[in-house]
Every structure is written in C-alpha cells, then in structure tokens.
Structure 1
Amino acid sequence: MTTLPTSSFPPPSSLRFTSRNPLEGRALPPSGWWSLIQGQGRKSMRQVHYQLNQLATVLAAKGKGIDVYMSQGIFGKKSRRTVDLTHITHAYVDLDVYKTQIMSDGKSIDTVARMVLLDCDDFGIPKPSCIIHSGRGLYLKWFWRQPVPSSEAGRAIAINRALVQFFRDFGADRAAVDMSRILRVVGSVNSRSGNRVEVLWTNNVDGDVLRYDFNTFADEFLRPPLARAGVVAPTRPVRAGRKDAPWETVEQQQRLGRKLFHRADWHLGVLADLRRLAELRHDSGIVQVAGAGRQAGLDLFGHLGACQLAMVIPAPQLPAEIEAWGRQILPDWYIDGEFSRHCSTLLDRARQAAAGERAQHGGKSVSPNWTYNKDTLIDLLEITPAEMRQMTRLIDGDEKRRRDREAWRADHTGQDRTAYLAANSVSRDKPWKAEGISRATWYRRQQAVAGTG
C-alpha cells in the first residue's frame, strides 16, 4: 500500500463505527439489501441480491473473482433502483485516467494518486477517505460519518456531479454519479488489464479512516466556486416583486436553514411528495381513481412522476426506474397495461435529450424533456393547504410564509405556535376589546399599574 500524506481536514467526532465490509471503511445502516454483480463471459453479467448482514461473508467468498462489482447504495428490497434506495454511505468518482494525457508520458498509477491529493490541497477540496486502483483507473470515495437517508439522494447525486466536474482532467466518468452505480470490488481482478483491484491509500486520522459529516460537506462543497474560494457570490433575490430587492448570499441562505437549489434534489423531492400525496389520499398508498376519469387520474400521477425521474436518471436506466417507481403508488393492472404505452413518448424525449438534441418552445431552444414548474404541479394535482403541510417541495407562497413564521418563532422563542399562544394567553383573549379600548392603551395601563405597584 502506497503511503501518502493524511488530510489536513479536522478529524471526525470520537464516535467509531465497526464496518461490516472487510475491504472498505464505510459506516453502514443496521439492515438493507445490496447487490453483487459478476462477469459471466463476454458482455454477460450475473446479479445477485444479498442482505446487508451477509456482506462480509459474501465478499470473502466471492470478492476475489474476475470482474466482480457491487452496488454502492443500500436498498430496501432486492433491487438496485434509485427509487428503492434507503441509505447512502459515501460519495464517489470514477477516474478513467488511462484515457487522459496525464498518463501518456508513462506516469505510474501511484503518481497519479499523488497528483489527485495535491490538487485537493491546492484547490481546497476535501481529500477522499480512500483511493482505490480499479485495475486501470482510480476510484475516489468520501465516506459519510453515518448512513445518509434516501431523502438526501438528490444532494448526494449533486455532490457526485460536482466531484466529476472538479476531477474532469483526470478523466472523471460523467455517467458514474447515480445511486444505482456499481463499482469493482477490492480484491477482484480486472479482466481488461489483469490487475487486481486494490486500495492505494486511505485517509487515516488517529488510526481510523476519515469520515465526513454529510450536511457539512454538502453545504461547503456544493457552494458556487467563488463562494467556496472565500468570495461571496449572489444567488437569487430575497423576495419576488421588488426590483430593488437585495440578493441573498450563500451564507444568508444557510443561516435561514435553506438548502441551495440542486436539480436532482428538487426532482427527487417532488417524487417523494407524490408518494406522500398518494399515502394521504389513499389508505393503501396506491392511487385509486374511480369513475370516467380513472384513466386520466392514473396517467397524471404516472406522467408527473416519470417526468421527475427523466431529469435525474440516465436514459438507459429510465424505463426500469419508472416501472419500479410506478409500482410503489400505482395499481399493478395499470403498470402492466397502459402505463408503458403512456410513457413511450416521454422515453423517446429522454433519449433525445441524452443524445444532445434540442426542441423549440416559444422561440427558444430547450431540452425535449417535459418540465413543470411548482405552481403548475400544485394546480394539476389539486393539492390542498392541509396536504401542503406534509409536502417538502410542492408548497405555495402561503405555506412557505407559514413555515418561515414558525421557524422564526422557534428560533426566537423556542416555542411552536400552539405553545407560544398558550404562554401568551393575553394575545389570544384580547382583554382590550372587552374594555372598548385599543391594544396599545391597554398595555400602557398595565405598565402604569405595574409601575405604581
């Protein structure tokens, strides 16, 4: 194992995790499913799903074979679909350095790994938790301090995409950002090179591999480049409707508890809201529409959900992801029947977008994928104010202001609205009305009485 400098980033808390994976240092959830994929000859792969408590045993028995891969996410069932994801354990980037000019002059893979770490130092990027030689290229992995729930899948994808952008000169694979990604198992053999997959370097601090806090990492790493370099960069207006409104800085948004916008985070959040809406409206969580509009109602839910996935999932994986998601909230008879036909145009558009084709809309060149803004989604789905209280993305201005007031009250009083009113019964009872005087006059009288007392 090559010895390289450890990270200058501060060590994590003293909490230690015992990884169930004998070959890596991930912090794993207590349960879930993962997938092992093994080559079966030219262009043939065999995938088997295992429970998480079988990880060490399976890898010890099968992890040293030829062309062995494993899923990088943890899933809720025998699946490797993003919609079935339950936990994320790390960020990753796949560097195809053998395709770049970097290795054209005969540099060794160890030298390239050192160059990666030097770039991290020079540009203020957190060093990976480990660097793995994939047999030809490099895997860089940043382990999270604890398993991250699937609700953060959008930000996790955004982190992977940002890493790809940063390491593009090292041949970062732009496709290797999704949550259903598979990477080679440490100890297996890469048939293309004959080399064994091995850990080149681990970022050890106090005898343990360095793990990062996901939220801190995301808040810092996903900031605009100027802000990350110490320069405050504007993002968007504080309020609409004021031409002279100042711009919120990244720091102001973080202080208000707001996440910066990331496309994948938004679309997967809308997908979660659709699932929650189905649960609120139907005891089974499966959309049931009666009457003459049954087909149209199912088509609407299916179409809007598929549109969100089309903005996040690579086109080759999209049909299977859409079907897996549809079975979570739509009747099987509909999925097995009309749903695939209904999605055919959407899938064609996704393939066009993946090929770089553009469409004309309103005189502008746009992506062929269907997109809907938040207000349109709320109107189409007829989401009520009561339902919006259970949503994370599909909320209108009134619900947003209500949440802002609640957040302000909790921040300044430590109470929610109910507790605040209970502790301030005067505001609720309005005794000045019974006396036929103004609120200000009533308070002045109370202050006068208190002063003479």
Structure 2
Amino acid sequence: MQPQPEPLPSLLARLDEAALYHRAEDRGFFTLLWAEPDATSGHRPPALKIQRAYRLDVLPQIIAALDPERDTWISQAEFHKPNRRIVHLLRLGLCFVDLDTYKTPHGESRPETLLGRFLGHCGDEDVPLPSLVIYSGRGLQAKWLLERPLPRAALPRWNAVQKELVARLAPFGADPGARDASRVLRLVDTVNTRSGERVRVLWVQRHAEDVRRYPFEWLAETLLPVSREAFQLKRQPPTAPRTPLQVIPGGKTGNLRVFSGRQLAWDRLEDLRKLAQRRGWTEHGIPHGYRSKYVHWCLNFLLLSGAIPANQLYLEAQALVREVCPDFDKDVRSVLSTLYRKAKAYEAGERIEFNGRTYPPLYTPPQSHPARPIRRARR
C-alpha cells in the first residue's frame, strides 16, 4: 500500500527543513541566493541575484531574518570556505532531485495529485521513497536524507547515485543539470515569483518519530546498476582463475572503496592539493614555473572525476587558483581554453582510440606516473 501524505498542519517550516541537512553545531559554511524583490515582476529586466555564504552556527538567525516574499535558494551541501565551489566541498547530508514537472504531461496536476503519481512511480522504478517531497511553486524537490553526512572523498560515488536518480525519475522532469553538489534549491516558506506559489513541504516519510534517513551505502547498492562486489568481479579477466577467499584476522575492513576511473581522478586531485599544502604553497604561493602545470592537472582531474560540468570550469578554476596563487588570474585563461574544449568533447561522449583502446578526450596519465605535474622546487 502506498504511504499516505501527512496532513497539511504537520508540514516543516523553513528552518526545520534546512536543519535536516545543515546542523548549526557543525563547522563549515552554507550559501543563500536570493533575488531582489523590486526586479522580479512585470516586464522588468531579470532579477538581480545576490549570493552570500554564512557559517553554519548562525543558520537559525539567518533563516529567521529572511524575507519570505522574495525568491530564495539554499545550498544543499556544506563547504569549508565561504563559497559553494566543488573544490571547497566539505560534506553532503542528502541526495536530491529537482523535478521540473511543469515540463511533463503531469504539469497541469495539483501538487497533491502530482505527489501521489510521483510516489507511485518511485515504487514502479524501485526507487526508495524520499525522506521528504517539496513543492517548489512549479515542480517538486525530492530529498533522501542520509544517516551520516558524506565526506568530500565520497563525491564520485555520490555523483553516481545522483545520476541514477535523475535517470529513473526522468518521466517527472528530473533536471540532469541540477544534480551537482554545488546546487542551490528553493527554500521552504519562500515565494516562487514565477508562479506566485509558496514553496512548501508536501510529504514527509516518518521513521521512529523522526524523518526517515538512509544509510548512503544502502542507497548506492539499491540504485546503482552493479554492486561493489559485482563490479570488482567484472574487472577480473574472464579466464583468470578465481583465488579462494582467505580470512585475514584483525584490522579494519570496512569503508573499502571500489576502484573506478572517476574516484581515481578525484583522489589524484586531492593528492595534488595536499602536496601544495605540505610545501607551503597555500601560505606563500606556488613558485613561478609550476603554476600552469599545477592548475592544469588539478582541473583536468576535477573534470575527469565528473564532479562538475564544463560550464562551471572557470568558476572552479578561480576558487582553486586563489588557494595557491591569487595573482594568477590572467594566465588561467590560457590553461582553461584547451581544457574547456576537451571537457565539452568529454561531455558529448567523444572518445579517442589509440593502440586498440579508447580514452576520453581529457588527459589520462598512466598509473605509474599519475600526473607528473610537480617536482620539488629548488630553493
């Protein structure tokens, strides 16, 4: 039997909803984006949008002070610097899908009718029911809260789950361009001036007197086409003899990650940034002669990880460059031009064939020398 929506009086207020994935007691930053109310009506130019980042510990005061009569969006992830760039990602407390239902045959339905159809579709597609569903004024937002926030290291696997959710919910207008970790979604109890409707929670899935939360690994195993174990077996040559399982006593064996190209690219990016920190480049700046190479490989691995689309490359590059060389802005464009062309080809599905094997258009260094980007600078 399909779970029934909760009655309207039990809906979550904007602070209650935001506090489900942003804890004021944690360190880090969240971002708000809002439109100035004097530029959102009639035939005036597009609204002026203002973006601000705030510490998590001031979340209650900031949310309470917002003007509910203007369009307002809030970041879903948290960041360790006051912006919402992927290179500054700190943690992720949920999975989500932005559903542009007004672009589908369901668009004329009332929100409550739309909700019932959406929950039924989740059951048909073996998608776990979301923790909550929000009416955004024209469409829906579906959110799956996590039992524990994910660290930045898990971003490639989180992206894979996001991609699968968008694919399965495509008949309800799931937006493939709104599934990244830097995404902002409309905040509950604020107005959507395009429709004049108030953003509100339509449905909450309760579990043990609280909003339902999911273990991320369970979500991943349920949604992704192959499990970690099956993926590892698939990578073995068909003719290779199976090695008998052996029990190795002692030691921690949990939290092991499957090898994947995207995870490897993300880990390489993290290694380069740790190298910059240990050499003091984040404090004193990167030496001349190493700047272009460092930025090139960092951005190349960022793109290979699938964490950002090509159209976000310049903004991510700006955030990355500020870590090691604030005066490097002019030269960044020369590094970006080639990478941007290759990133667009990568997104379009183009591949390069060499010696009987296919490779993405982006740079893929051999495993023995992951990037060869930086040698120790002579003093």
Which letter does structure 1 place at the counterpart of 2:4?
L
Quote the Cα distance in structure 1 between the aligned partners of 2:67 and 2:243. Answer: 52
Structure 2 residue matching 1:350: 3-state secondary structure: helix
Please give the alpha-carbon distance, in whole angstroms, between the structure 1 residues aligned to 2:351 and 2:155.
29
* Cα deviation code 1:391-443 (max 9, x no counterpart): xxxxxxxxxxxxxxxxxxxxxxxxxxxxxxxxxxxxxxxxxxxxxxxxxxxxx
Map of 1:326-341 to 2, 5 A cutoff?
A: 326-328=321-323, 330-333=324-327, 335-341=328-334
Percent identical pairs in the alignment equals 29
Match of 2:182 in 1: 180
Deviation at 1:375, TM superposition (A): 3.1
1:177-209 Cα shifts (integer Å, max 9, x gaps): 111101000011111111111000001113210
Once the 2 structures are TM-superposed, how far is the Cα of residue 165 of structure 1 from its aligned partner?
1.1
Equivalent in the alignment of 1:301:
294
Q: Map Cα deviations across residues 148-181 of structure 1 (whole Å, 9 max, x no partner).
A: 2222222222221111111111111001111110
* CA shift for structure 1 position 68: 0.8
Task: Tell me which residue corresponds to 1:272.
Answer: 270
Contact 1:278 1:286 in 2 (8 A): no
In 2 relative to 1, CA 340–205 (structure 1 residues): closer, same or farther, beyond 3 Å? same
Sort the Cα spacing of 1:149 and 1:359 in 2 relative to 1 into closer, same or farther, 3 A: closer
Distance of aligned partners of 1:222 and 1:382 in 2 relative to their CA distance in 1, 3 Å threshold: farther
Give the CA deviation at 1:101.
Answer: 2.3
Residue matched to 2:96: 92
Relative distance call for 1:380 and 1:69 in structure 2 (3 A) is closer
Q: How many residues align?
A: 347
User: C-alpha separation between the residues in 2 aligned to 1:357 and 1:59?
Assistant: 42
Do the aligned partners of residues 286 and 263 (structure 1) sit closer, same or farther apart at CA in structure 2, a change above 3 Å counting? Answer: farther
Higher mean displacement: 358-367 or 76-85: 358-367
Letter in 1 for 2:115: A
In the alignment, structure 1 residue 347 sits paired with structure 2 residue 351: no
- Which of 122, 125, 150 aligns to 2:124? It is 122
Structure 1 Cα separation of the partners of residues 198 and 291 of structure 2: 50
- The alpha-carbon distance between structure 1 residues 272 and 219, as it changes in their structure 2 partners (threshold 3 A), is farther
Cα 1:234/1:358, change in 2 over 3 Å: closer
CA displacement, residues 249-269 of structure 1 (integer Å, 9 cap, x when unaligned): xxxxxx886423555433322
**1:27 shift after superposition:** 5.7
- 1:227-376 correspondence runs (5 A): 235-238=233-236, 243-246=239-242, 258-261=256-259, 264-280=262-278, 282-285=279-282, 294-295=288-289, 297-311=290-304, 312=306, 313-328=308-323, 330-333=324-327, 335-354=328-347, 356=348, 358=350, 361-362=353-354, 367-376=360-369
* Correspondence for 2:247: none
Structure 1 residues 136, 170: CA separation in 2 closer, same or farther (over 3 Å shift)?
A: same
Could you tell me which amino acid in structure 2 is paired with residue 316 of structure 1? N
| Correspondence 1:56-205 to 2 at 5 A | 56-62=60-66, 64-103=68-107, 106-205=108-207
Residues 14 and 63 in structure 2, CA contact (< 8 A), matched pair in contact too = no
* Distance in structure 1 (CA, Å) of the matches to 2:188 and 2:154: 27
Amino acid at match of 1:130: L
Write 1 or 2 for the structure with the bigger share of helix: 1
Residue number in structure 1 paired with 2:15 = 21
Match for 2:54 among 46, 50, 57?
Answer: 50
Does the CA-based 8 Å contact 1:154-1:266 persist in structure 2? no
Is 1:30 equivalent to 2:26 in the alignment?
A: yes
Q: Could you tell me which residue of structure 2 aligns to residue 387 of structure 1?
A: none
Tell me the distance in 1 between the aligned counterparts of 2:233 and 2:112. Answer: 40
User: CA separation in 2, counterparts of 1:54 and 1:283?
Assistant: 32
Quote how far apart the aligned CAs of 1:309 are: 2.0
Q: 1:27, 1:145 within 8 Å by CA — same for their partners in 2? A: no
TM value normalised by structure 2: 0.79
Higher relative CO (Cα under 8 Å, sequence separation at least 6) belongs to: 2
If the length of structure 1 is used for normalisation, what is the TM-score? 0.67
Measured at CA, do residues 261 and 110 of structure 1 come closer, stay the same or move farther in structure 2, by a change above 3 Å? farther
On the 8 A contact 1:36/1:49 being kept in 2, the answer is yes
Cα distance in structure 1, aligned partners of 2:233 and 2:90? 31
The residue identity in structure 2 corresponding to 1:26 is: Y
Superimposed CA distance per residue, residues 41-89 of structure 1 (whole angstroms, 9 cap, x where no aligned partner): 2242111222212222222221512211111111112111111111211
CA displacement 1:104-123 (0-9 Å, x = unmatched): xx432222222222233334
- Kindly provide the amino acid, as one letter, of the partner of residue 90 in structure 1: L
- Name stretches of at least 5 consecutive residues in structure 2 with no aligned partner: 7-12, 40-45, 245-252
Cα gap change, 1:276/1:39 in structure 2, threshold over 3 Å: closer, same or farther? same
Structure 1 residue 277: deviation in Å?
Answer: 2.6
Aligned residues of 1:117 and 1:127 also touching (Cα < 8 A): yes
Give the drift of 1:247: 10
The structure that has the greater radius of gyration is: 1
Gaps of 5+ in 1: 7-18, 249-254, 384-453
- Over 3 Å counting, the alpha-carbon distance change for 1:189 and 1:257 in structure 2 is closer
Amino acid at match of 1:266: L
